[in-house]
Structures are given as C-alpha cells and as structure tokens.
C-alpha cells in the first residue's frame, strides 16, 4: 500500500517560487539579482529543505507508473442464439468504449450489460477508467450485471484507491472478492466503496507507507495528513473507527488476513448499518409490511438458513424476506488472473522488498 501526495507550487519564505535553470542578471539590477543567485547559507538550507520536500511529493506522485492496473469489462453477446460473455475489454481504451459498436453478430449495439473487474495494483489510471465507466452507466450505454464489481489486487496508490471507492459508492454498486482471489492493502479501500460487500476469497490489511526513502524534515507531517485522510474516508463510508485502529496496528512490512469474524465486525462482509437500514425499509415497502414485521421475517429466515426449521418454513421465510432485499449481489463466474495477465504476487510493492510475513508469522 503506497501513499501518493498531490503536488503543489513550492514557495520559499519570501513567496518566491523555487525554479531550476540559470538566470541572467541585467547590469541595472546586478546586486539584487546576484543576491538571488547566491543567497546566504541559511536561505540555501531553507530552500534545499523545500526542494527536498517537493522532490518527495513528486516521487510519491509518480513512483507507481510502472504498475499494471486494469479496470476491465466484458459484455453479454448472442452467439447462435445463446448468450455468452465477450472477451475482456478495457475502460482505458477508447476503442473498447465507443458506442454504438458492432456486436458479435454484426448488429449495432447501443447499450449492453457488462461484468466489471478491477485487477492489479491501483494507480491514478484507474481513477480515469472508473470515471469512464461512470459516464457510460449514466448515459445508459452500460448496465453492470448483478450491480456487482469483482476485485483482486495487491495494493497501490492509497489516494487513487479511495477516489475509486468513493465513485463506486456514488454508483451504489456491490463489490466482491471472489473465491481464490485476494484483495490486499489499497485494494481494500476500493472494495469498501461497495454498497454491499461479499468476501469469498481473502482480504488483507496493513498500515500505508511512503515508498520513497528520501529524508525530508516534515515527513511526519505528511504521514499525519495521510492518517487524517484515511480516518475521514473510513467514517465517510460508514465503517467503524475500530477498523482504522486495526489497520494501523499492522506493520507496513506485514499483511494481516482479516478473519471471518472481523470481516463482519468491520462491516467488510455485508452492509454498513445505514445501508442495511435503507435496504430493510425498501424491502418492507415492496412487501407492503412494516419494518418490524420484515425484520421478524428476516430473523426467522436466517434461523432457517442455519438448519433449525423444516424446508417448507424455510422456503416461505426466504421468499418473504431475503429474496425481496434489493441490491443483493449475484455471484457469477470470476475472471482468473491468467485471463487478465500475470499471476498474483504475495507482496504489495512493485519493487521486490523480499518475502513479507503475515501477521500470524507464516509465509
């Protein structure tokens, strides 16, 4: 999980922008100009500190260009009268998102149902791809099958991940970590954007870090700002403060795979309380009953699902409660890692830092 900082114009104490290159000094202003070219030692020290800080910011912003992140989709197409899924396409490729386009049978396709997958380490390129997806959905060009986005990745840019997560929450889609997939580090922040979340694979967390080792006097301040952004994101998306505490307790060099119990405790598997309240009310309206009656049916359905009531009661309970809850994710075939290129790595960084120990001490 890497943290990237936004860059800004850098100024010194006199309000002068730090610039590179040579400066010519007209004779009429030689003394003033020479003073700027050869400032006192104290001013030189201050300027070097500011330039070092700027270099760190640029390094953090641009260090992840070598990562391969993909926001992918495939569409439902008709082949010989049967519906099949197309080959994977990229939201970042304008040719793949041009509508209308020719379908498999040669007919012009103005809109289509798609499955969406996010694979690889998160970069700012994924923010662009997510905005393309949002635009296509709002224009009616695409509809996400099952309202579900499948995720698998090992980390990446923290701020980019939070931006994509906010966009997913805005679209009110559900998120899934499919069986045999893993969502680690910054990938978790994207996953949190789902209005409803399902974990069949593995979710791993640790505290974020800046990948640049450059010495900067205010590095601690940068990190505290990152912490505030994380806390704000977790609160904004209605996750408990205990999740932030658990995340920060895991050293950056480790990955803690979240247990099934903690997935529920942190609302990573299921819905946040405010979202579940809204879904319960919508289901009660659809059934024409009170929220209290719906909650009773829902509780009974969960009891039956545990195997403590007969089949007829179970069938009745589920048909009256769970089936009516809107937005339940539909499980569909996952895209294998091989299909999108490259095998999963067990570490988060693009450069190989050596084996990372899990929180349990296993490799």
pLDDT of 208 > 70? The answer is yes
Contact 238, 272 (CB under 8 A): yes
d(CA 108, CA 207): 48
- pTM for the model stands at 0.68
Tens-place pLDDT, residues 23-35: 344 444 444 444 4
> Which of 167, 98, 171 is CA-nearest to residue 138?
171
Contact 314, 321 (CB under 8 A): no
Which residues lie closer than 8 Å to 39 by C-beta, 6 or more apart?
47
pLDDT of 210 > 70? The answer is yes
Which residues lie closer than 8 Å to 301 by C-beta, 6 or more apart?
314, 317, 318, 320, 321, 322
SS3 182: strand
> Which of 151, 350, 353, 162 is CA-nearest to residue 247?
162
> Which of 185, 97, 107 is CA-nearest to residue 135?
97
Q: What is the pLDDT of residue 311?
A: 46
Tens-place pLDDT, residues 51-89: 333 333 323 332 333 345 589 999 988 777 788 898 999
pLDDT of 150 > 50? The answer is yes
Contact 357, 254 (CB under 8 A): yes
Is-cis flag, bond preceding 57, omega within 30? no
> Which of 331, 319, 330 is CA-nearest to residue 286?
319
């Amino acid at each position: 999980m890497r943290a990237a900082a936004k860059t800004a114009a850098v100024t010194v104490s006199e309000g002068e922008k730090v610039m590179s290159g040579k400066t010519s000094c007209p004779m009429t202003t030689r003394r003033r100009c020479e003073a700027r070219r050869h400032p006192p030692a104290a001013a030189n020290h201050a300027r070097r500190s500011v330039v070092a800080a700027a270099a760190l910011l640029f390094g953090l912003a641009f260090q992840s260009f070598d990562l391969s992140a993909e926001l992918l989709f495939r569409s439902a197409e008709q082949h010989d009268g049967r519906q099949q899924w197309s080959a994977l396409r990229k939201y970042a490729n304008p040719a793949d998102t041009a509508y209308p386009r020719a379908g498999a049978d040669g007919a012009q396709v103005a809109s289509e149902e798609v499955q969406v997958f996010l694979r690889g380490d998160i970069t700012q390129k994924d923010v662009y791809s997510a905005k393309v997806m949002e635009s296509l959905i709002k224009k009616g060009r695409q509809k996400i099958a099952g309202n579900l986005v499948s995720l698998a990745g090992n980390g990446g840019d923290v701020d980019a991940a939070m931006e994509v997560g906010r966009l997913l929450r805005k679209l009110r889609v559900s998120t899934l970590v499919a069986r045999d997939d893993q969502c680690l580090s910054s990938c978790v922040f994207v996953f949190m954007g789902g209005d409803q979340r399902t974990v069949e694979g593995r979710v791993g967390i640790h505290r974020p870090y800046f990948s640049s080792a450059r010495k900067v006097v205010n590095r601690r301040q940068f990190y505290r700002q990152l912490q505030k952004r994380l806390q704000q994101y977790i609160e904004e998306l209605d996750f408990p403060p205990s999740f932030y505490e658990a995340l920060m307790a895991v050293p950056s060099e480790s990955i803690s795979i979240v247990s099934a119990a903690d997935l529920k405790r942190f609302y990573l598997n299921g819905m946040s309380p405010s979202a579940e309240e809204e879904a319960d009310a919508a289901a009660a309206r659809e059934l024409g009953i009170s929220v209290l009656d719906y909650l009773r049916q829902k509780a009974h359905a969960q009891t039956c699902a545990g195997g403590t009531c007969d089949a007829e009661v179970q069938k009745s309970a589920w048909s009256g409660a769970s089936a009516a809850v809107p937005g339940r994710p539909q499980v569909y075939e996952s895209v294998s890692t091989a299909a999108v290129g490259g095998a999963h790595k067990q570490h988060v960084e693009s450069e190989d830092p050596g084996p990372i120990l899990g929180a349990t001490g296993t490799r």
